[in-house]
Structure 1
């Protein structure tokens, strides 16, 4: 059976009972398929009901509205695909920042995230609530997490950034900005992982002398 442009396989027999978390995950997976393949405006809650194989009552009880469903999807994508944890106290600043930028760029430039970003851009004029949800649960979330990590590096003497929030914006923009645009429009060929890592190393070599005091040269 094909729903929302995807092939859905149904198991025969009585389905196993799902926990509330499993039920939400199944609904969100179906919603993501429908939103990406049909667009936000063209997707109706009935489409999601059919795609997830649950009752309309169950879907509405779990999320209430299509907007709530999309906001929950953005939150799920963020927490499924990227972890920005506070670094250990013995890690040098360049290693911490390099690792975070590597994970962040891999996340933002993944096929899944690029599809979600395209969806938000294409629908934002007609559904500004999508842009707000994407910004609050995506862009702002990443920046706040990175700002917190940079502040921690400041507090432990591994970094000397006067304005960690501005530094977070500059680092993310330098690594992701151009790469995301090329991924969104599919021109030219998106950067490879090796090229992204090379750009991160080069960026760290530029900021390290002024921002990372008293660290031995690590060949950056």
Structure 2
């Protein structure tokens, strides 16, 4: 009888490295990179330190990502945990409800501890390494805006909310109003972390103030 192949979740035998699928290996490397980058800073972080944090060899890390720049670019858009990458999300039949759902999801995601840490890192490195900020914009911010803009446009087309011509402007204004001072306070650590209930309340205030 053939012995079944070990599962990635099985505990590895002493002295032998654990077995990961390709996706698990990438996820582990990206999360280790995030930890090292946000703790040490982009400039001080080393590939050796990241490989060690992931519990893998430098050879494995370099086989996937040739340098820190490629690794950082993959990290900011490669953990697949944002609401606009959720393939299982069910779209609301009502355009207003769908706009509300997407705005709530975006605000909750942006305000997670992880996203706040990454934003702080990008701000601190923006002048020395502007490409990092450009990559973040292309891989995350532009997708996020499109995700919300689709709902704003649909609401307008179905006669919900104000009559607007500039979808992008309304999208930016709506998101800014929904984040309000909570995001700035989180970035500077000057205020206690907003609760889910407080964030939801601010989203509802933004929608009401802007005519939704």
The count of aligned residue pairs is 198
Q: 1:50 to 1:129 in 2, by over 3 A?
A: same
- Contact conserved, 1:109 with 1:180, CA < 8 A, in 2? yes
| Other structure's SS at 2:210 match | helix
TM-superposed CA distance for 1:156, in Å, is 4.3
Which of residues 170, 180, 203 is equivalent to 1:167? 170
Superposed CA deviations along residues 85-134 of structure 1, whole A, max 9, x for unmatched, are: 787462241x2222222111111111111111111111111111111122
Q: 1:141 to 1:177 in 2, by over 3 A?
A: farther
1:45-64 → structure 2 map (5 Å cutoff): 45-64=47-66
Which of residues 183, 186, 189 is equivalent to 1:183? 186
Q: 1:189 to 1:89 in 2, by over 3 A?
A: closer
Structure 1: runs of 5+ lacking an equivalent: 1-9, 213-220
Using the size of structure 2 for normalisation, the TM-score is: 0.82
In the alignment, the residues of structure 2 paired with residue 191 and residue 28 of structure 1 have an alpha-carbon distance, to the nearest angstrom, of 27
Q: 1:203 to 1:53 in 2, by over 3 A?
A: closer
- Contact conserved, 1:34 with 1:47, CA < 8 A, in 2? yes
| Other structure's SS at 1:80 match | coil
- Contact conserved, 2:178 with 2:203, CA < 8 A, in 1? yes
1:116-135 → structure 2 map (5 Å cutoff): 116-135=118-137
Q: 1:164 to 1:87 in 2, by over 3 A?
A: farther
- Contact conserved, 1:28 with 1:73, CA < 8 A, in 2? yes
Structure 2: runs of 5+ lacking an equivalent: 1-11
- Contact conserved, 1:120 with 1:130, CA < 8 A, in 2? yes
Indicate the residue corresponding to 2:8 in structure 1.
Answer: none
TM-superposed CA distance for 1:20, in Å, is 1.7
- Contact conserved, 1:105 with 1:175, CA < 8 A, in 2? yes
In the alignment, the residues of structure 2 paired with residue 84 and residue 91 of structure 1 have an alpha-carbon distance, to the nearest angstrom, of 21
- Contact conserved, 2:38 with 2:121, CA < 8 A, in 1? yes
Superposed CA deviations along residues 29-88 of structure 1, whole A, max 9, x for unmatched, are: 1111111111100001111122222222221111111111111110024x3143467874
